[in-house]
Chain A
Amino acid sequence: MRAPRPWLLVLPVLVVVGPLFLAAVVFAVLQSFTYFPLIGLDTISAEAYRSLFTDTEFWRGLLLSLWIGGAAAGLSVAVGVCAALALRGAWGGSRVVAFLSQINLPLPHLVGALAMIHLLSQSGFLARLSHAANLIDSSAGFPALVNDPWALGIIAEFVWKDAPFIMVIALGVLGSVGRDYEAVAGSLGASRGQQLRHVTIPLLVPAVAPAAVIVFAFAFGSFEVPLLLGQSFPHALPLLAFRLHTNVDLAARPEGMAVAVVMTLLVIGLAALYLSLVRRHLRREAR
């Protein structure tokens, strides 16, 4: 046997990650159906889902989490792609800029969230600059951007952290494709806007769409960012799941598990749906 079989090669990662991940999923599903012999629950029922689906906090938390994920992904893509288009010429020349624009990629979201508190809160840095510029008289005059109902602070943190990620991916595509296709479209009479819409954007979609899914999934499932920057009611779903799960009332645990299961199904379902829509759209464009 000269070259080892592929299955043998993937075995280590499956052994390390597979059982734990599957165990997490299986136990979450079982416990969400109130099957948890360790604390005396041994009848399978949909009770947890029933009480969850009649709870307004769950629905408001769900809407909040979808809003956070969608807005974070949408704005990160918009900002990241625009920045990439603006920068594409300058990129090769400046390593310093390349370095600086990636500097927050390795920073944990916890650092970003704490920075947003200092920056955006009503007594934060921007409020102080506004005061210095005589735009506001007191901190109360500054809009609430942290712990606010629209989750603006949370979304700002994700855009700050993930727009550079999208930008780097878009720049990678733009750099490897070059300007030839756009030049051909231009010589055939396409305007700048038409080149962008029918040439540049379709070239970017195959790389940017999966990246957008990752941003959505991450913002949707993030724990510490809404913990620091969100309101206490309604809680984003990850916080709700954790709160119910760690409730002193053990009967609430299945509900926490049910939230975790709903989140997982939603994020996988939405990712699959979105990517299949993108693929279908690309096929139609190609015709």
Chain B
Amino acid sequence: MTVPAPGRAVLSNRLIASTIAVLLLLPLLPVVLAAFSRSYVFPQVIPAEWSLRAWRIVLGGGTGPALWWSIAVAGAVAAIALVVAVPAGRALGMHSFPGKGAVELMVLAPLLVPVVAVAVGLDITFLKLGLSGTFAGVVLVHLIPAAPYAVLVMAGVFANYNASFEDQARALGAGRWSVLRLVTLPAVRPGLIVAGFFAFIVSWSQYVLTLQIGGGKVVTLPVLLLATASGGDAAVTGALTIVYALPVLSLFAAASGHLLRAGFRGGAM
């Protein structure tokens, strides 16, 4: 018995798929080449000389603190976004109630409004409240664009959620917290992962909000990266770009099973 050769349709599909993958990955290649080069000038396609110089600078400098700021801020944003998105998603996904339209508008509006408008509109308020230049202030302001994504994902999850298991658990004597902990949260766990991931990467990507509200004290990776990029050392900028991209790529790889199933219903970021 012979294995049937792949048909022409399958081959052309693979060709299309590989073309798309190349188009997506090729733009990242020069950044990686630059990061490992000693000098990488026109017209070299491949660097003439390789070097880890940029990595010694990047791993020795302010990268560590910036990495921790980014992780702490994005982690806190994701955690708070989940805490508020689970009940809100449940209400919007499962119930209709008076004023629902207004709530949806309130939750979705921050997705359309440019973050720079939020940044300039809030900076004096934050200064007066003593939140400028603080961890709490940056987390709060990141929640404005991040929480709506988490709510959107959870609303989609709860729209397909079957609450009758909760009734059964209650009939068997489970209290409110046991129902939440043992029935509801395990049932929506894939949604929680996707929603948390979205909130994390929205926060991870914020530049101008952090710059304006962080006031030079909360220096996350994007703030450090743009300052480095204006310094003009392509190798160092490239290395720091990789440091900035790797954590979200790893998270994506870890969560990709859930994300692919969820079909990335959330948004464009």
Q: Which residues does A use to contact B, with CB under 8 Å?
A: 2, 4-14, 16-18, 20-21, 23-28, 31, 38, 83, 86-87, 89-90, 94-95, 97-112, 114-116, 118-119, 123-125, 127-129, 131-132, 139, 160-162, 164-165, 168-169, 171-172, 211, 213-215, 217-218, 220-224, 227-228, 237-238, 241-242, 245, 256-257, 260-261, 263-264, 267-268, 271
Contact = CB atoms under 8 A, between A and B. Distances in A.
B41 A162 contact: no
Contact of B45 (A95, A119, A128): A128
Contacts of A25: 113, 117, 121
Interface of B: 9-10, 13-14, 16-18, 20-21, 23-31, 34, 41-45, 80, 83-85, 87-88, 90-92, 95, 97, 99-100, 103, 106-107, 109-122, 124-125, 140-141, 143-144, 147-148, 151, 170, 197, 201, 204-205, 207-208, 212, 222, 225-226, 229, 234, 237-238, 241, 244-245, 248-249, 251-253, 256, 259-260, 263-265, 267-269
21 contacts: A9-B87, A14-B106, A90-B14, A100-B20, A102-B252, A103-B25, A105-B269, A106-B197, A108-B245, A109-B205, A111-B31, A131-B43, A132-B43, A162-B268, A165-B264, A214-B268, A224-B207, A238-B114, A261-B117, A263-B114, A263-B117
Q: Which 8 pairs, one residue from A and one from B, show the smallest C-beta to C-beta distance?
A: A221-B114, A90-B13, A24-B121, A28-B121, A9-B91, A118-B30, A108-B205, A260-B117
A37 B215 CA distance: 22
Contacts of A107: 245, 248-249
A94 to B, nearest CB: 6
Interface centre among A14, A28, A111, A169 (most CB of B within 10 A): A111
Contacts of A103: 24-25, 249, 252
A36 B269 CA distance: 33
